[in-house]
A and B are shown apart, each in its own frame.
Chain A
Amino acid sequence: GAGVSQSPRYKVAKRGQDVALRCDPISGHVSLFWYQQALGQGPEFLTYFQNEAQLDKSGLPSDRFFAERPEGSVSTLKIQRTQQEDSAVYLCASSSHRDYLYNEQFFGPGTRLTVL
């Protein structure tokens, strides 16, 4: 497929569990972004990669959140010791150029995380 894919699409975790969310960006896209979207809200920026370098992680809400993109393609967002307030849709987006400021972002379908 040509789009951004994410897996799993749905994840239910018990409070305290660790989860890992995967993002496959569009092939060749340099920039990759993670967002968190709470119900009824717009997406909120979490972190940004340019190739394998994590250039901005200012949006990560706590040190329980960790993201990586070791080979500059697939990315994983990991949440340790999940809490109920982590329940949200996690969106991944990619963009084609280094000069990302001027480009649209292509979003994946998201992973809906529910923490019980």
Chain B
Amino acid sequence: SQQGEEDPQALSIQEGENATMNCSYKTSINNLQWYRQNSGRGLVHLILIRSNEREKHSGRLRVTLDTSKKSSSLLITASRAADTASYFCATWDNQGGKLIFGQGTELSVKP
């Protein structure tokens, strides 16, 4: 079973715009990770944020985590056509000790 939900399920924007994706989860977590998947490169790890962190940056990526609301967001700034992919959040739950993925957001960046 999947951990949580991602919102929106699909997002279409123009190159240069920002893209925001949200993730909600259900259980207590150790950390939350974001992954990208496209047909060319498979599933690739983007960023990891620990449960005691609130915000993290990596290049054009900004991730926030609100453990009180059990939610996270991924912001991609100045999007590029190459950012077109599916984006998944994944959590390590403290009980199960396994990585549980959301259903993903399909991002389309139009040139």
Question: A residues bordering B, Cβ < 8 Å?
Answer: 33, 35, 40-45, 48, 56, 58-59, 91, 93, 101-102, 104-110
Q: Counting chain B CB atoms within 10 Å of each CB, which of A44, A102, A104 scores highest? A: A104
Q: How far is the CA of A56 from the CA of B92 in the complex (A)?
A: 14
As a 0/1 sequence over residues 67 to 111 of chain B, the CB contacts with chain A under 8 angstroms (1 = contact) are: 000000000000000000000101010001111111110000000
Which of chain B's residues has its CB closest to A4's CB?
Answer: B42
**How many of chain B's residues have a CB under 8 angstroms from any CB in A?**
24
Number of A-B pairs, beta carbon distance below 8 Å:
54
Please indicate the chain B residues that have their CB under 8 angstroms from the CB of A101 in the complex: 30-31, 92, 97
Which of chain A's residues has its CB closest to B102's CB?
Answer: A42
A-B contact pairs, 21 of them (CB 8 A): A35-B101, A41-B103, A41-B104, A42-B2, A42-B88, A42-B101, A42-B103, A44-B2, A45-B99, A45-B100, A48-B98, A93-B43, A101-B97, A102-B30, A104-B33, A105-B45, A107-B35, A107-B43, A107-B44, A108-B42, A110-B42
Q: How far is the CA of A57 from the CA of B51 in the complex (A)?
A: 26
Known contacts A33-B99, A45-B98, A110-B43, then 14 further A-B pairs from the complex at CB < 8 Å, ordered by chain A residue: A40-B103, A41-B104, A42-B2, A42-B90, A43-B43, A45-B100, A48-B98, A58-B96, A91-B42, A91-B43, A101-B31, A102-B31, A106-B45, A107-B43
